[in-house]
Amino acid sequence: MKGWCVSLWPPILMLILCSVHTNSLKRCLISVDMRFIEKSFQGIKRELQAKDTFQNVTVLSILESPKNIKPADVCCVTKHLLTFYRDRVFQDHQESSPQIVRKISSIANSFLYMQKTLHQCQEQRWCHCSQEATNATRTVHDNYDQLDVHSAALKSLGELDIFLAWIDKNHQETSAA
């Protein structure tokens, strides 16, 4: 009897850890207003995507299928993509329109806030990065490097709706859970 009870402990613990890990993204992003970011992007979506001349290339191809990213890797991938946008996309993009610059700056600030939140989660070991998550992030960088810097940055900005929808979907799933 005692052995039977003891044998139940590891699965129970695993279940608890999995649920905690699944909810890690929710805990990290619960205070972020995603709708505000989406509205900011909708205001400049037309101008950004109209300039994209490479319709057959996708930078965030890893996010196309939900099977590509495991739930446990969601936090890590989100963190890496936020870093990608902060360090490369926003830096490489050159915009002349002040209205677009204002909107992009607003989105960038929101991304910085999300990064800080995820960093706290990482310190608490809630945002573990597996090898698969690291590989997925590398694919994004490779896609970015296929194009010239200006086109790549422009396309990556045009794909912000994909990135935001993916975060929103994972956030909703975790919050509903």
When the beta carbons of 84 and 163 are compared against other proteins, the nearer one is: 163
Q: How far is the CB of 58 from other proteins (least distance, A)?
A: 4
Which 90-119 positions form the footprint of other proteins (CB under 8 A)? none
Task: Output the furthest CA–CA distance in the chain (Å, rounded).
Answer: 73
Which 31-50 positions form the footprint of other proteins (CB under 8 A)? 34-35, 38-39, 42, 45-46, 49-50
In angstroms, the Cα distances linking 94 to 12, 65, 168 are 52, 30, 27
Measured CA angle at 81 (ends 79, 83), to 5 deg: 70
* Other CB atoms within 10 Å distance of the CB of residue 142: 11
Render 38-81 in DSSP notation, one character per residue.
Answer: HHHHHHHHHHHHHT---TT--S-GGGSSGGGS-GGGHHHHHHHH
How far is residue 96's CA from residue 83's CA, in Å, rounded to a whole number?
A: 24
When the beta carbons of 45 and 86 are compared against other proteins, the nearer one is: 45
Q: How far is the CB of 151 from other proteins (least distance, A)?
A: 15
Q: How far is the CB of 74 from other proteins (least distance, A)?
A: 17
User: Which residue, among 110, 95, 97, has the nearest Cα to 160 in the 3D structure?
Assistant: 110
When the beta carbons of 111 and 163 are compared against other proteins, the nearer one is: 163
Determine, following the binding rule CB under 8 A, whether residue 55 of this chain makes contact with other proteins. yes
Size of the site for other proteins (CB under 8 A): 25
Sign of CA dihedral 30, 33, 34, 35: positive
Instruction: Please select the residue that binds other proteins; options are 22, 23, 26, 61, rule is CB under 8 A.
Output: 61
How far is residue 51's CA from residue 145's CA, in Å, rounded to a whole number?
A: 18
Q: How far is the CB of 123 from other proteins (least distance, A)?
A: 28
Which 120-149 positions form the footprint of other proteins (CB under 8 A)? none
Residues that bind other proteins (CB under 8 A): 34-35, 38-39, 42, 45-46, 49-50, 52, 55-58, 60-61, 64, 158-159, 161-162, 165, 168, 172, 176
